[in-house]
């Protein structure tokens, strides 16, 4: 296996496979990040500005606020699960292809 020092990083950067990985990953991470942060910050914002909504009882004495706070756990886990599926199923595979392709090349001097 070639030494990392010999890898032409600019060439990898310009490679279409790497650009495709970069595009897919960037979009996916932005979507997940914006979604999870929005969902989370609705909790303190809602508690502060819409307490009357949080007070509505839904299930026995359990109100919107409590169930919404509990749903935060489910959503955080779901985001993590979603990311894991995509990362192991797609990003890892693409990254491995790139690593193999560039390590097989003759070291450039």
Binding site for another protein (CB under 8 A): 4, 7, 9-10, 12-13, 18, 21-22, 25, 29, 32-33, 36-37, 40-41, 43-45, 47-49, 51, 54-55, 57, 59-63, 65-66, 69-70, 72-73, 76-77, 79-80, 83-84, 87-88, 92, 95, 98-99, 102-103
- Distance in angstroms (rounded) separating the CA atoms of residues 61 and 83: 35
Q: Is the CB of 10 or the CB of 106 nearer to another protein?
A: 10
**Minimum distance from residue 26 beta carbon to another protein (Å):** 9
Q: Which one, 61 or 109, has the nearer CB to another protein?
A: 61
Minimum distance from residue 41 beta carbon to another protein (Å): 6
The residue written with tokens 């296996």 in the block is 1
**Closest CB to another protein among residues 5, 109:** 5
- Alpha-carbon distance values, 56 to 72, 81, 95 (Å): 18, 31, 48
Contact 96, 30 (CB under 8 A): no
Q: Where are the alpha helices (DSSP H) in the chain?
A: 9-14, 16-49, 51-54, 64-86, 92-104
């Amino acid at each position: 296996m070639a030494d990392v020092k010999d890898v032409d990083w600019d060439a990898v950067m310009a490679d279409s496979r790497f650009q495709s990985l970069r595009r897919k990953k960037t979009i996916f991470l932005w979507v997940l990040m914006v979604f999870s942060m929005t969902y989370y910050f609705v909790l303190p914002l809602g508690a502060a500005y819409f307490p009357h909504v949080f007070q509505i009882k839904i299930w026995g004495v359990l109100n919107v606020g409590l169930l919404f706070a509990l749903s935060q756990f489910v959503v955080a886990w779901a985001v993590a699960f979603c990311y894991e599926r995509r990362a192991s199923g797609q990003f890892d595979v693409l990254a491995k292809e790139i690593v193999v392709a560039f390590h097989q090349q003759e070291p450039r001097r």
